[in-house]
Every structure is written in structure tokens, then in C-alpha cells.
Amino acid sequence: MIKIVTAIAVASALSLGSVQSPPEPATEAAAPTASTTQELQAQYAGYSSEEIVEEGLAEEGLELEQVNVSTAGIEIEAEAAAPNDPFEFALELDAGKASGEVTFTDKIDGEIVTETYDIDIQESTVERTVFTLTNPNTGEIYEHDSAEASSSVAFVIPLAFGAISISTALYYLAVGAAIVISGALALEAGKAISKIIKENSRKNKSKKRDYYPATLKNNKVFISAKGLTKTQAVTRGKKGKGNDVWALSKSKAKSLAVSIKNGKSAVGPEISGGGKKGYMWHYHPNNRTPSVHLFYGSMT
């Protein structure tokens, strides 16, 4: 499940000799196969999303100081568990967005240095993490892609190990709390639904939304708090697999299924998992094409 950080990153850090050893073992999560994903889900069954992040970072030599995951935003703070190692990072993502700010602290040439970067996450799932870090003072951009053998971050000290730590945190966040697909942040349904309903009730009629982007990933439903109009929801649903939608009610989910197939009757309602905990009722468009889920309600 875990692989050692790219040799390029390690070699560049050691050859320059300008950075302390990072939190051991300085690793990031490898893209899992179907079997390892199932093992991962079994390993963290019953854990809260915060506990998953805490346990995951602990395995990588990082001690969690704080983690908050909600529609108001995401905050993660962690530091090296090893004694006398000053490395730490703080990640803050803006409400409903896959962008924000990250701060790294480490010892360089015998001095404690703190650097802050703007972060923009293009993708964050258990399979892959892609993000860019931008220096707000110089405008210089560094790229990180867990699926690539090299990264522009790998040649910049102290960013190399900082980027790996952020990638690891996002990996464990994706296991149980939040993912980013095509630049859109989506929270695990259990965290998203109650907040969406509460926030929607406070909005005036013109700003209320009945539909929200959803994605079924590794048997979990993730929902974005960015509401959709009925027209936008239909357009999304017609795109097919991966473009699921969550609706505020059963009737609205059924109506959406009918609209996606131009008035043809919907398939459902139905629920997977044989009634097991953690599944959601949903509809499909007529004849199950396009292949999308139109969820509603809460998880069983």
C-alpha cells in the first residue's frame, strides 16, 4: 500500500545537504489496486474521517495536531513525531473549494524556516494526487503528481518532503472524508448532507438548490456543496459514468432521472449492498443509460 518517495526527491535533498531528515519513512501512498482498496476500507471500518487521517499520518511518522473537515472548509495540521525534528505543516482549504494555503516549517542550514504557498488541487483520490504550489511572493509554480516518476517539487528544498507530506494527508483524507476530482472538492456523504440541508434552508428562494454533484468512489458517495440548477443537473447526468447527482428529495431524484432520458420512466428506487449500512437509495435513467446514479436522502 505504501511506496518510498521518488529517488529523485531523496537524492536532491541529500546531495544538497540543506535539509534535516524528514519524518520517517518519508513516504506517500501508492495507487492501490482493487484488492488493496478493499483492504484499506476493511482496515479503517468504523473509523471517523478524522481518525483515518490521524492513523494514516501516524504510520508515516507524523503526529496530527488538528483536523477539521466540513462544508466550511478543511484544516489539517501535523508535525514530525520524531524527537527534535522541527518539521511541520498546516493545510487550509477554502469552503467548498480545492484551493487554499499550506505552510511548511523545517530546519535549513541550522535555522528554522517557515514558508507559505498557495495550493491548488486538481485531483485527490486514493488512486492519485495532483496539485500545484505557488510562491505568492515570486509567482513561481511547483507541480506534484503522485503518479509521475518526477516532480518539479522534488528539486526544491524544503518543498520536497513537504509536498510528500501533503500528498500523504490528502490520500488518507480521500479514504474517508473528501476527494477532489477535476478541481472540485466533494465531501463524504455523511459529512456533506446535513450541512447542505442546513445551509440551503438559510438561503433565499433564488439561491436555493435541489441538486448537487456527487461521485461514487470505492463504494463511498462523495457530494460537492456547490449546488446545481435542474438544467445543470440534467447536463451533468447526461455525461455518464462518474457524473452522479444527489437530490434533496426522492421526488426530485426521480424527476431528474426522467428528464435525463427526455421523459422516459426512471429505474428505481433501489439501493445496493443488500441493506447494509453505508449505502444510499437512488434512481437511474431509463434502461440504466447513461450510467449514472441519482442519489437522494441519507445513507442507511
Distances (CA, A) of 287 to 15, 267, 283: 60, 7, 11
pLDDT of residue 102: 94
Is the pLDDT higher at 116 or at 19? 116
Is the pLDDT higher at 156 or at 300? 300
HSE-up (13 A, CA, CB side) for residue 78: 30
Peptide bond into 136 cis (omega under 30): no
Report the distance separating Cα 9 and Cα 6, nearest Å. Answer: 6
pLDDT digits (tens, 9 = 90+) for 140-150: 898 888 887 55
Report the distance separating Cα 190 and Cα 177, nearest Å. Answer: 9
pLDDT of residue 36: 57
pLDDT at position 19 over 60: no
Tell me the pLDDT band of 10, cut-offs 50, 70 and 90.
very low
Write down the residue that cell numbers 507559505 correspond to. Answer: 116
Least confident segment among 24-28, 128-132, 279-283, 293-297: 24-28
Check the CA dihedral 9-11-16-19 and report its sign: positive
Q: Do residues 26 and 154 touch, judged by C-beta distance below 8 A?
A: no
Tell me the mean pLDDT in the region 42-66: 85
Is the pLDDT higher at 233 or at 145? 233
Q: Show Cβ contacts of residue 198 under 8 Å, excluding neighbours closer than 6 positions.
A: none
Tell me the mean pLDDT in the region 70-91: 89
Residue 74: how many other CB atoms lie within 10 Å: 25
pLDDT digits (tens, 9 = 90+) for 167-214: 888 888 888 778 887 677 888 888 788 878 888 788 888 888 999 999
pLDDT at position 12 over 70: no
Q: Show Cβ contacts of residue 199 under 8 Å, excluding neighbours closer than 6 positions.
A: 71, 225
pLDDT digits (tens, 9 = 90+) for 261-286: 999 999 999 998 776 777 899 999 99
